Amino acid sequence: MLDTATILTFLVAGLASLFMAWSIGAGSSGSTPFAPAVGANAISVMRAGFIVGILGFTGAVLQGQGVADAVGKELVLFPDGGGLTAVAATVGLLVAGILVAIGIFAGYPIATAFTVTGAVVGVGLAMGGEPAIDKYQVIVSMWVLVPFVGGGVAYATARLLRAEGISERLVVPLLAALVGVILANVEFALLGPPDGSDSFAHTVAVELPFSTTLNVVAVSLVVAAVAALLLSWDMNRDEAAGQRHFLLVLGGLVAFSAGGSQVGLAVGPLAPLLSDFSVPAIGLLIGGGLGLLAGSWTGAPRMIKALSQDYSSLGPRRSIAALIPSFAIAQTAIFVGVPISFNEIIVSAIIGSGYAAGGAGVSRKKMVNTVLAWAGSLVLAFVVSYVGFLAVDALV
């Protein structure tokens, strides 16, 4: 039987989680997915915020469990196999949420994954936990690779789209085929067993004769062909409109992926507490998804404007080039259970696509300030959370 103080502490932690979810929705997951589309004048700022909120909520429910478990149970190791207490989760989430909110109102996209990871590790070590070195190596490796991979792929794609002698009516549908292959192999909770997830390609493949591996490849190629043919038909009718439609689809996929990745940063610290309070995991994801939705609708337009106008003067080609690697990287992070910053993904891709046009419109000062804000938020979140928990624990 839980006492009143424990229940109240959990409620406070839940409110802190909702605040964190709002901050993420207003910042990274709410602003980054459609920033290139807004920069290319394919959609208005307010409409982008509305759509990204709905798609982010859907992604949170269908793909959020993996990152939530990683944040809540794998960043700090405890001898008894437990996780953060309600007090520790509250302190960590409040510190991270406040730092992200400051970034939103200051106009700089704070890397949410850096901030939450620093805060969770800070309170976890202050509780007496041990650092999860192996997990840190995986996370840091991905954080370091993201700007080079995302920016490099965006640069190469933008150069391909700008190349003379290569028809966009051929290249863009081929890019749609690539997106189709990725989408066919993305795992969703609705397609898997009760305690897992599965992809569309694998779900269909196991029902077909022959080798499952060959079937997965065949289904993926079919999805790719359908995507390419549909876009080719659309572009033959109106090339510019077809590009805009593809750009909006990419923004939607990135928004969905943002919800699946970022909700774990908000609700992950509460994951170890679920067994004590009989709260189902899906309920936690729905609550976090609603927080993302509220943040996207109320706070995202400011950051959408900052990303779409301040970082690079984007057109449809560079926007497409930025969103394709963003979608691929986000789904990779979800698959391996790594908390990833959508600001880092999308900003590096925007910069990469911008340099394909000779660096036009790319603000180097803004780039330097953003990188410093990312690194500073990680260190600051760790220190403040560590000291904050010790202070709160001493008082309580």
pLDDT band at 122 (very low <50, low <70, confident <90, very high): very high
Query: Rounded to an integer, what distance in angstroms lies between the CA atom of residue 338 and that of residue 332?
Result: 9
Within 8 A by CB and 6+ apart from 107, the residues are 302, 303, 306, 310
Per-residue pLDDT of 153-186, as tens digits, reads 999 998 888 887 788 888 999 999 999 999 999 8
**What was the pLDDT predicted at 312?**
45
Cα dihedral: 286, 78, 338, 213 (round 10): -90
Within 8 A by CB and 6+ apart from 11, the residues are none
Query: Rounded to an integer, what distance in angstroms lies between the CA atom of residue 299 and that of residue 337?
Result: 27
**What was the pLDDT predicted at 2?**
56
Domain count, the chain: 1
Task: Give the chain's mean pLDDT.
Answer: 82
Per-residue pLDDT of 23-43, as tens digits, reads 778 766 656 677 667 766 777
Per-residue pLDDT of 288-335, as tens digits, reads 888 888 888 887 776 676 666 654 456 777 788 888 998 999 899 888
Query: Rounded to an integer, what distance in angstroms lies between the CA atom of residue 178 and that of residue 227?
Result: 9
pLDDT band at 387 (very low <50, low <70, confident <90, very high): very high
Q: Which of 323, 353, 351, 176 is nearest to 256 (CA)?
A: 323
Q: Which of 218, 260, 236 is nearest to 167 (CA)?
A: 236
Q: Domain residues for 257?
A: 4-395
Q: Are strands 198-199 and 187-188 parallel, antiparallel or unpaired?
A: antiparallel
Q: Which of 125, 119, 139 is nearest to 13 (CA)?
A: 119
